[in-house]
Structure 1
């Protein structure tokens, strides 16, 4: 079963690469937005996709994962914004602290296990502002802890390094095409993380792609559970 799922992912990845390469370039939009919605839905029906987007933000490598979720966008949105449930959905997230939650944004601190190298566990924690653009988009930016203590939530907004969730309803409105665009910096997690990136720079985009796939799949599974 796992091998079949892996083959479907690889096939979808190859198909996505071919389709996205053929699409017209527009740096203002994610690559997948250059596709006709019907074509995009058909692509995702073949399995989850993952790819690297180098066109959207000059000088940046963005990891993107897309999946079909068998639930309408409203339900998927509610799952995304249920921060306290993330440790149950995603194994790498060990703890979550909601610092502030408003109608148009939330400030959340995540504690995350990154990778294990022999006896050494690389862990990190970070504070993010989740900005809501209902019902289709959530933009996530990192916040400095000092500014958070002063409730200066707009001081460090950095769109160049923003993480994005986007929800697109399928033609019948019953399902959701869910896309996760992410970028991170393992070197900020400490000396070991910095050493890893210096020795093997490609580990960074590999980590981001894996993270994007894990998170979209987790949301899909949570929606299917009916909880």
Structure 2
């Protein structure tokens, strides 16, 4: 019964409301069933962005048993993104202005190290976080990267998490397509693991997450 309720709620969020974003991928009944079982679902669909070039990436979704505030806290903890994104060694907020945060990333691929700057825009009310490469800065590897996180509460303490990423690197697209699509799924899996670890620590300490804690 729980899975049926979740599937119906997902159907309403993803294909029902008129206000649902046009970029949300269309999902089949089989997709909804997989999500209701806690599986990560990948769609070969890039997020929209102004002036976005053709690129690689995609959109992934998962349903978590989690407090939205706890997930939101993890997603907006920009200085501790290492371990959340594949090959990311370090992240640091270098400028913050209201809902905007400019973050410097350090990525290592084998013997090679790359650094680049990404501007994030936080919408706490809409529980949506969007980002775009700051092309006014000197960036390694990326010509552009853009995307978003979105949180949609479901019945029974469930939470639908959507992660979408598009990118264009200095390398030929056919060389990076597979790894970038794989990184979308790995990032969502890492978030799921981090949420579960956080919940385990809270239970061990005997303190639930506070409703307003961010």
Q: Give the TM interval when normalised to the shorter protein.
A: 0.5 to 0.7
Which residue is 2:146 aligned to? 162
Q: 1:53 to 1:80 in 2, by over 3 A?
A: same
> How many Å apart are 1:161 and its aligned residue?
5.3
Which residue is 1:204 aligned to? 176
Q: Greater CA deviation, 54-63 or 97-106?
A: 54-63
Which residue is 1:183 aligned to? 166
1:145-165 CA deviation, whole Å, 9 max, x = no partner?
A: 549xxxxxxxxxxxx953111
> How many Å apart are 1:98 and its aligned residue?
0.8
Query: RMSD of the alignment, in Å?
Result: 3.4
CA distance in 1 between partners of 2:159 and 2:47 (Å): 25
> How many Å apart are 1:52 and its aligned residue?
0.6
Cα pair 2:163 2:184 within 8 Å, conserved: yes
The 5-angstrom pairing of residues 122-161 of structure 1 reads 122-134=112-124, 135-144=126-135, 146=137
Q: Greater CA deviation, 77-86 or 66-75?
A: 66-75
Q: Any runs of at least 4 consecutive aligned residues in structure 1 with deviations exceeding 4 A, and if so which?
A: 38-41, 54-62
Structure 1: gaps (5+ residues):
1-22, 148-159, 188-193
Between Structure 1 and Structure 2, the one with more strand by share is 2
CA distance in 2 between partners of 1:143 and 1:30 (Å): 23
| Structure 2 residue 192 is the aligned partner of structure 1 residue 220 | yes
Which residue is 2:103 aligned to? 108
> How many Å apart are 1:82 and its aligned residue?
0.9
Q: Greater CA deviation, 40-49 or 124-133?
A: 40-49
Q: 1:55 to 1:84 in 2, by over 3 A?
A: closer
SS in 2 for 1:144: coil
SS in 1 for 2:119: strand
Give the structure-1-normalised TM-score: 0.64
SS in 2 for 1:220: helix
Give the structure-2-normalised TM-score: 0.67
> How many Å apart are 1:41 and its aligned residue?
5.3
CA distance in 2 between partners of 1:83 and 1:59 (Å): 27
Between Structure 1 and Structure 2, the one with more helix by share is 1
> How many Å apart are 1:83 and its aligned residue?
1.6
Count of equivalent residues: 173
CA distance in 2 between partners of 1:161 and 1:144 (Å): 10
Structure 2: gaps (5+ residues):
1-14, 139-143, 202-214
User: 1:43 aligned to 16, 20, 34, which one?
Assistant: 34
SS in 1 for 2:81: helix
